[in-house]
Amino acid sequence: MAFTLPDLPYAIDALAPYMSQETLEFHHGKHHQSYITNLNNMVKGNEFESASLEDIVKKTYNVADKAGIFNNASQHWNHGLFWQWMKPNGGGAIPGDLEKKLIEDFGSVDAFKDAFVQAGVTQFGSGWCWLVLGTDGKLQVTKTANGINPIATGEGTALLGCDVWEHSYYIDYRNSRPNYLEAFWNLVNWDFVNENLA
């Protein structure tokens, strides 16, 4: 079955002023759609046509002649979650279980946020920064290049990810990736992050 673009779980202007309607029109409507269109074209008639998205990501990671499929599949997976990791009037109080775990593993919520922003700022070129529940049961902050994600690397469960490709912030923040990452805290859907922890 062909992959399709999921609707945003909110109105296209609902994340403004932190993420504008114009950014979402391009990022969701054009960039995310392109990954899906490319992926559908690339899996047509081969072994991946009826595979799940997760399986495609895992089976094509680091396989030289499958790089095109991997890039588009992983980006489809990443963006499908990215839209859900944000909500209008996001940010605010962090659910108790998650807050406790963040303090346990990072020392404080602010220390986690600093590490996450730092990972995003220092990701050279396109990529993502992540909050991952590692296979050792500990929370960790990581960063990846391009479309690589925690299911590809097998380092754990992605609890939160932020897209630091320029297409994610250039309309609203121009070259200032740090300002975009700081503003992201006003959008985070902590309830959804917490659901993935449980």
Closest chain position to Mn ion (CB): 163
Q: Which is nearer to Mn ion, 163 or 172 (CB)?
A: 163
Residue 50 Cβ vs Mn ion, minimum distance, rounded to whole Å: 26
Burial pattern 2-34, b for ≥16 Cβ within 10 A else e, equals ebebeebebebebbeebbbeebbebbbeeebee
Q: Which is nearer to Mn ion, 155 or 163 (CB)?
A: 163
Residue 115 Cβ vs Mn ion, minimum distance, rounded to whole Å: 22
Residue 5 Cβ vs Mn ion, minimum distance, rounded to whole Å: 13
**Is residue 73 a contact partner of residue 36, using CB atoms and an 8 Å limit?**
no
Residue 46 Cβ vs Mn ion, minimum distance, rounded to whole Å: 25
| CA dist., res. 150 & res. 76, Å (int) | 14
Applying CB under 5 A, which residues contact Mn ion?
Answer: 163, 165
Q: Which is nearer to Mn ion, 35 or 190 (CB)?
A: 35
**Is residue 133 a contact partner of residue 159, using CB atoms and an 8 Å limit?**
yes
Q: Which is nearer to Mn ion, 23 or 60 (CB)?
A: 23
| CA dist., res. 98 & res. 197, Å (int) | 7
